[in-house]
Amino acid sequence: METEQTLVLIKPDGVQRGLIGEIITRYEHKGLKIIAMKMLQLPRVAAEALYAPHRGKSFYDLLINFMTSAPIVALAIEGQNAVELVRILNGDTNPRKSEPGSIRGDFSIDISHNVVHASDTPKTAERELEILFAADERCQYRRIDEAIVNAVSNVTQP
């Protein structure tokens, strides 16, 4: 298992609906570390950089306008296979396909208001984290339960 960092954005709908604490709690209860966090009004240039792979798609302008419409919370998260684990916790991008118990399955209204964004690969995570967090903004620390989480993860993996 590899320790990774990934980006999570609590989107404007998640912030406006008062879901910040609930969402962060789910990541922390799974043993992931929040190593950086900030609330901000996402500048258009940052939104365009984050979603550059979607430029030219039919939903691109709607997405950029939505992501810059109200504050978001940006999180840098670290942990064993963090990219994959966060995506599992988030659930499918389309809330109708998200499992109950996932963040999107429990809280998303529709595909364009699906509460959270998460990096889809470690390489994407690296690029996205650099857009929102300087390296010196990411804190390094050990969770008190980190040794247990890592030991259990190493034992249960084939």
Task: Please tell me the chain's helix, strand, coil percentages from 3-state DSSP, rounded to the nearest 5.
Answer: 45, 20, 30
Instruction: Give SS3 for 88.
Output: helix
CA distances from 124 to 7, 114, 128 (A): 9, 20, 6
- For the question of residue 113 being annotated catalytic, the response is no
Find the catalytic residue in 29, 54, 113, 117.
117
Number of Cβ within a 10 Å radius of residue 36: 20
Amino acid identity of residue 133, one-letter, is: F
Q: Which residues are catalytic?
A: 117
